[in-house]
Amino acid sequence: MIAAPAPWLRLLECEVDTVRRVVARADGTSLRVTIKAMQVLLVLAERRGSVVSREALLERVWPHTMPTDDVVTQAVAQLRKAFGDDRDAPRYIETIAKAGYRLLPQVEWDEAGPPSAVAGGNQDATSLSVPSPPATPAPGPESTRTSASHGEVTPGIDAALALPPAAGLRPADAAPAARATMSPAAWLLLGLAVALMAALALLAGRRPADASAVAGMQAAPEGLAQVSYRAITSTPGQERMPALSPDGTRVAFTQAGREGEGGTLMLQAVDTVATRVLVPPEAGHSDVMPAWSPDGARIAFVRVSPQGCRIMLVDANGGPAHEAAPCLRGAYSMYDWTPDGTALVMGGMRVDGEASAPLQRLDLATGRWRPMAYGIAAGDVDLVPRHSPDGRWLGFRRNLSLADLWLMPAAGGTPRRLTTLRGDIRGWDWLPDGSGLVFSHVTGDASLYLYRLADGSIHPLPSLPTGNAVHPDLAARAWQMVFEIDQSRSGVFRVRLDAPDAGDAPEPVFASSGVDMLPAISPDGRTLAFVSDRTLSVQLWLGEVDRPGSLRAVEGLRPVPRHPPAWSEDGRTLLMLGKTGAGDRVFEVEVASGRVRTVDVPGASPVFAAYGARPGELLVGVDGGQGRIRLVLYARDGWRALASLDDVAVARYDPVGNRVYFTRPSRAGLWRAGPALEDVAPVSDVFPAPQHYRHWGVFQGQVHYNGPAEGCATTWQPLPGTAAATRCLSRDSLAIAGSPSVDAAGRWLYLGLPMAQNIDIGWSALPRGFAPAPD
């Protein structure tokens, strides 16, 4: 690897972050380039002004390999795109015919970077403080973790927790926190969360992303930039939810079937590729979500089937499994062992009559679930608990669509907010010495980040060469980490609705080798809008479905791939959430001209937008604070707030029935209201489940659900549904969240579907002590 002399490189008006591989232009746009493209740039910078031959670049950047000659061409083309350079009139990289390439501008190296890059991550500090732990007996020997290499007891984190304010990125993409709580049948149907988790991560990991999605980053701790990764599984299909043994030598994970069905618990040493079945699943069942006990002697897992869900225990060396208890209310989410190994802690969803969903504790001796006693506000949902290495603290993720990490004493008490991400957190875990956390977060990309408890700062870990890094799991006594490498792809498809005899097999629309998703068909059924990364950056695309040559990208808009575009009733304009240097904004696109203008919604950051019942009215989901979304009906003339509803995940207006339909982030079901958000009433109390809050649409005044149901991954059924009215659109593949879309005549249904579902397990050694607590 070619090392950069400094973290930042300035070339004319462009700033290059060599650690994150992001090129930021003066106009506010930015792109992340591949590792090889950045290496090519560093070689050119070393010899600025001189011609560097293709052979020299191949030798320096691709040593000990036999790449095709076009890899250099592709790398240079990507750099030119990032710089906004013109090959015929270059300002940055000049092509010298039959000789090579030359870097033209002066090279300026900078240790600190531009002011925006080092502004610090301590935004929106909370006034809550972490209280002293209550007087409890000292933890048992299993709760004290030691360093595998040095043998000393890890330091406590009390000092590190005294002052750090909440750390934040820019307002993040509020895609659903997938796999929060799943029905027991979901894994048997298709390995539910395997269906691409959420739309945003698909686009993020495969293509370069913009740097402006992440703010408040500080210079990486020493050694962080040298973190490297390798895949320890590489079989076709899906290896999910890895769990690393406390000593870091073995990893347990779920291996799904070829079509995503079922799940078998596997065990593998991290330094080999040989795997073995830990425990065979019962016939018709699926074993998922393993978790090691603190002493490494047992593994807990979840056994699911269409008939039920159970928490199971098995010896870490194999043998028969036995049931510990039924799942929490028939469902499950990510969980953790208590430090003494006598209980498990898990989160769940709200049910009718409950104001919030606190963490629950399962006593393994009695098999009883009990809610933990601590501070939780109405509407909050707490998930993904993780105990600190010294056993005194319990961290967790609060809420779904707009999530953050919180911390409290292990026995309960007053939680303290650690981050102000308000986004999509895909798993997290503690560093072995308790000095920080590693978490996966989706902003413009799906990446791993380090949170330092000492100062509340957030630092990006190096990106994977390909795929999304999600669900990290760290060894308790070794500086090692495993995670999922999601390399899934998706495409836009359509299904004929007005001719059932034509069959349900979806046909591709505007096929590409990229990631296509979030289709929205115009009311007249002629023009399809969708989001794609087919040009190495995420863009909004428009095209007439019967004229492939009409496909074009909308310039001047960097879409947030969370919700599909929203068409106006006349089909002349559409609304799309987009990224700016100041955060997410609502944009309106004139379809005929492609002209883009900002819609100046006042106040808090918008999460989604749709046209209302009357001209000049908009329905906007805004961040209401504390991770919850508020639906506001605005009059664009003067931006008067006409009405509002709290606790809304996403809302859509139906012009046929003159109603607003919406889902809630923490409760199953769907609701409707009048055009002025009056007369709220339930439509369904079953579908969609919270993790499928975007899997529904309105067609000719009737709400339809297109998420999974018994025996079918992607359905099309009216709500409230009847078995006779249900169509199965895809038995094995769950539609991408944000689908579906139907034209006004009801001829075609458009939806995003996965095309390739490959998930491997990655492994990394971490620099020991790279996020130290203060002295």
Q: Positive or negative CA dihedral for 211, 214, 217, 220? A: negative
- The rounded distance, in Å, linking the Cα atoms of 70 and 56 is 14
Last residue of a domain, one of 94, 116, 138: 116
- The rounded distance, in Å, linking the Cα atoms of 425 and 195 is 17
- The rounded distance, in Å, linking the Cα atoms of 536 and 207 is 6
Residues 710 and 622 occupy one common structural domain? yes
- 30 falls within a domain: yes
Structure tokens at 129: 């403080």
Report CA-CA distances (Å) from 723 to 185, 669, 674, 685, 726.
17, 17, 28, 16, 5
- The rounded distance, in Å, linking the Cα atoms of 661 and 199 is 21
Task: Identify the burial level of 309 via C-beta atoms within 10 angstroms of its C-beta, where 0-12 means exposed, 13-18 middle and 19 or more buried.
Answer: buried
Residues 279 and 413 occupy one common structural domain? yes
Residues 473 and 617 occupy one common structural domain? no
Report CA-CA distances (Å) from 523 to 492, 510, 569, 748.
18, 19, 7, 11
Could you count the other beta carbons within 10 Å of the beta carbon of residue 588?
19
Residues 467 and 519 occupy one common structural domain? no
Q: Are 165 and 122 in contact (CB under 8 A)?
A: yes
Q: CB within 8 A of 159, min separation 6: which ones?
A: 773, 774
Q: Are 476 and 487 in contact (CB under 8 A)?
A: no
Residues 443 and 549 occupy one common structural domain? no
Any long-range contacts for 323-326 (C-beta under 8 Å, 24+ apart)?
324/300, 324/362, 324/364, 324/367, 325/362, 325/364, 325/367, 325/368, 325/369, 326/367
- 681 falls within a domain: yes
| Residue 375 backbone zone (phi > 0: left; psi -120 to 50: alpha; other: beta) | beta
Residues 95 and 202 occupy one common structural domain? no
Residues 476 and 534 occupy one common structural domain? no
Strands 527-532, 714-718: pairing kind: unpaired
- 270 falls within a domain: yes
Could you count the other beta carbons within 10 Å of the beta carbon of residue 3?
8
The sheet with strand 573-580 has its strands ordered as 566-567, 573-580, 583-590, 596-599
Burial 553-581 (b: 16+ CB within 10 A, else e): ebeebbbbbbbbbbbbeebebbbbbbbee
- 124 falls within a domain: no
- The rounded distance, in Å, linking the Cα atoms of 395 and 405 is 7
Structure tokens at 326: 């039924």
- 41 falls within a domain: yes
Q: What is the pLDDT of residues 425-467, one digit of tens each?
A: 989 999 999 999 999 987 655 689 999 998 888 988 888 877 7
Helix (H, G, I), strand (E, B), or coil: what is residue 775?
A: coil
The predicted pLDDT at position 754 comes to 85
Q: What is the pTM of this model?
A: 0.67
What secondary structure letter does DSSP report for 768? T
Instruction: Transcribe 515-560 into DSSP letters.
Output: -EEEEEE-TTS-EEEEEE-TTSS-EEEEEETT-GGG-EEPTT--B-
Last residue of a domain, one of 89, 116, 143: 116
- 498 falls within a domain: no
Minimal CA–CA distance to 421: which of 452, 436, 399? 399
Residues 288 and 433 occupy one common structural domain? yes
Strands 617-623, 629-635: pairing kind: antiparallel
Instruction: Transcribe 2-54 into DSSP letters.
Output: PPPSSSEEEETTEEEETTTTEEE-TTS-EEEPPHHHHHHHHHHHHTTTS-B-H
Residues 590 and 727 occupy one common structural domain? yes
What secondary structure letter does DSSP report for 116? G
CATH code at position 12: 1.10.10.10
- 82 falls within a domain: yes
Indicate the helix (H) or strand (E) that contains 188: helix 184-190
Instruction: Transcribe 672-719 into DSSP letters.
Output: EE-TTS-S-EEEESSSS-GGGTT-EEEETTEEEE-S-BTTBSEEEEES
Residues 206 and 86 occupy one common structural domain? no
Q: CB within 8 A of 176, min separation 6: which ones?
A: 198, 400, 401, 424, 649, 665, 690, 691, 693, 694, 737
Indicate the helix (H) or strand (E) that contains 315: strand 308-315
For the chain, the domain total comes to 3
Q: Are 166 and 451 in contact (CB under 8 A)?
A: no
CATH code at position 520: 2.120.10.30
Last residue of a domain, one of 71, 95, 116: 116
Indicate the helix (H) or strand (E) that contains 61: helix 54-61
- The rounded distance, in Å, linking the Cα atoms of 224 and 217 is 13
Residues 293 and 204 occupy one common structural domain? yes
Residue span of the structural domain in which 52 resides: 8-116
Question: Chunked in runs of 10, what are the mean pLDDT values of the chain (775 residues)?
Answer: 85 90 86 89 92 88 72 90 90 90 92 52 28 30 29 34 42 32 36 40 42 44 75 85 96 76 87 86 91 97 90 94 92 94 91 83 96 91 95 93 91 92 90 94 76 89 83 95 88 85 77 86 95 85 92 92 92 93 89 93 85 94 80 93 92 93 88 95 88 86 86 86 72 82 89 85 86 48
Q: Are 13 and 64 in contact (CB under 8 A)?
A: no
- 434 falls within a domain: yes
Query: How many Cα atoms occupy the beta-carbon half-sphere of 557 within 13 Å?
Result: 31
Give strand pairing partners of 298: 315
Residues 189 and 310 occupy one common structural domain? yes
